[in-house]
Amino acid sequence: MATFVDGKYGAAFCILLGSLSVAFSDVVVDSMVVERARGESQSMSGSLQSLCWGSSAFGGVVSSYFSGSLVESYGVRFVFGLTALLPLITSAVAVLVREQPIIGSNRGQNLLFASSGFLETSKQNISQLWGAVRQPNVLLPTLFIFLWQATPQSDSAMFYFTTNKLGFTAEFLGRVKLVTSIASLLGVGLYNGFLKKVPLRKIFLATTIIGSALGMTQVFLVTGLNRQFGISDEWFAIGDSLIITVLGQASFMPVLVLAARLCPEGMEATLFATLMSISNGGSVLGGLIGAGLTQLFGVTKDTFDNLTFLIVLCNLSSLLPLPLLGLLPQDSEDEDASRQGVGM
């Protein structure tokens, strides 16, 4: 994409190839994190997830700082070429990873499968994966996460509004990206410092309600109410993105911790990747539903008359999964309290 790609099909193929390579390394890293998080309490497991995602957010801060200005100054092809060098750094760091092979019951089976044919190995792995996913303690929380992520979104409509209606430039969007990366880091710190010992159900309940209320603030930007209070569109967009991203990252951290706790030994990478794929699938479905509502309300890249109603509907719909909080497992503290109540 930095040299000879000029068509949409070539660009799509390159994006697919890049995403595929990231997915491979991401699954390996996730398996390492899950192996180290298994058997730990929610607070300790949350600390490990916070460290990993905090590092990712810090990298996002560094890259976001230069993204918009480099595009404005040197063009997109230069940025594509520059970012193509970064995976080489990951390859160099990978040699520092030390891994001790562990032969257990499940791992012994995996070695046995490896000696068979590819087709037989695939069948055995799929059967093993299905056996893990269909367990109620895995299936029910996964169903909640999917429904929680599948609520409609108005992000695409807001992007067109800010770029076409408000005239936000690529450089300014790069600054917004920088702010959101910093906000992600703050969200990880918020979870690690104050929320990692809080029961999962309480976190989902509180962050969903607060997030729905804060999401309504985008109506101010659409209707221009922020300017009546003396706040420019740029500063309001930055502040709004900062607050919403902090809360969004803090609410997403329990998903990662829960997924890590659900993975059985011997299937860390496969099951964690499956759970996160289901979560991402819910997010994609939410985007598709949001796109359908955008078309239904007649919102286009040039027409934003009903954008306010779209934002309100999408934010209210995020409250719909809350009655299903019972699908999430009780935390150890809750279980201890329930046992004490029974004993009394």
Q: Which two tokens stand for residue 78?
A: 């230069």
| DSSP annotation string for 164-233 | IIS---HHHHHHHHHHHHHHHHHHHHHIIIIITTS-HHHHHHHHHHHHHHHHTTHHHHHHTHHHHTT--H
Cut 0.85: pTM above it: no
Question: How many C-alpha atoms does 323 have within 13 Å on its Cβ side?
Answer: 2
Question: Measured between alpha carbons, how far is 248 from 270 in angstroms, rounded to an integer?
Answer: 26
Q: What is the pLDDT of residue 308?
A: 92
Nearest to 218 by CA among 210, 226, 228: 226
Domain total of the chain: 1
Q: In this predicted model, what pLDDT tens digit does every residue of 218-255 receive, in sequence order?
A: 999 888 888 888 888 888 988 888 888 888 888 888 87
In a domain, 111, yes or no: no
Highest mean pLDDT out of 7-21, 37-51, 168-182: 7-21
Question: Measured between alpha carbons, how far is 260 from 47 in angstroms, rounded to an integer?
Answer: 12
Q: Which two tokens stand for residue 127?
A: 């059967």
* Coil, strand or helix at 298: coil
Grade residue 342 by pLDDT with cuts at 50, 70 and 90: very low
The greatest distance separating any two alpha carbons of the chain, rounded to the nearest whole angstrom, comes to 74
Q: What is the pLDDT of residue 337?
A: 35
| DSSP annotation string for 257-270 | HHHHHHPPTT-HHH
In a domain, 177, yes or no: yes
The residue with greater pLDDT, 321 or 114, is 321
pLDDT of 39 over the 80 cut: no
Q: In this predicted model, what pLDDT tens digit does every residue of 100-136 receive, in sequence order?
A: 665 554 554 554 445 556 677 677 777 777 777 788 8
Nearest to 187 by CA among 146, 244, 235, 260: 244
In a domain, 261, yes or no: yes
In a domain, 340, yes or no: no
Q: Which two tokens stand for residue 254?
A: 């329990």
In a domain, 118, yes or no: no
Question: Measured between alpha carbons, how far is 237 from 175 in angstroms, rounded to an integer?
Answer: 11
Question: Measured between alpha carbons, how far is 301 from 161 in angstroms, rounded to an integer?
Answer: 7
* Coil, strand or helix at 45: helix
Radius of gyration of the chain (CA): 22
Q: Which two tokens stand for residue 282?
A: 């819910």
Burial 264-281 (b: 16+ CB within 10 A, else e): eebbbbbbbbbbbebbee
In a domain, 3, yes or no: no
Question: Measured between alpha carbons, how far is 33 from 22 in angstroms, rounded to an integer?
Answer: 16
Q: What is the mean pLDDT of residues 89-95?
A: 79
Range of the domain at 313: 8-94+137-327
N-to-C CA span, the chain: 67
In a domain, 254, yes or no: yes
Q: What is the pLDDT of residue 274?
A: 82
Q: What is the pLDDT of residue 294?
A: 92
Chain-centre distance for alpha carbon 73 = 30
Question: Measured between alpha carbons, how far is 317 from 285 in angstroms, rounded to an integer?
Answer: 14
Which residues neighbour 156 within 8 Å (Cβ) at sequence distance 6 or greater? 287, 290, 291, 294
Q: What is the pLDDT of residue 46?
A: 65
Question: Measured between alpha carbons, how far is 334 from 316 in angstroms, rounded to an integer?
Answer: 29
**Rounded (10°) angle between helices 105-115 and 118-133:** 150
Q: Are 222 and 159 in contact (CB under 8 A)?
A: no
Nearest to 329 by CA among 143, 46, 137: 137
In a domain, 35, yes or no: yes
pLDDT of 293 over the 90 cut: yes
Question: How many C-alpha atoms does 268 have within 13 Å on its Cβ side?
Answer: 20
Question: Measured between alpha carbons, how far is 5 from 8 in angstroms, rounded to an integer?
Answer: 8
Neighbours of 56 (CB within 10 A): 14
Q: What is the CATH number of the domain that holds 284?
A: 1.20.1250
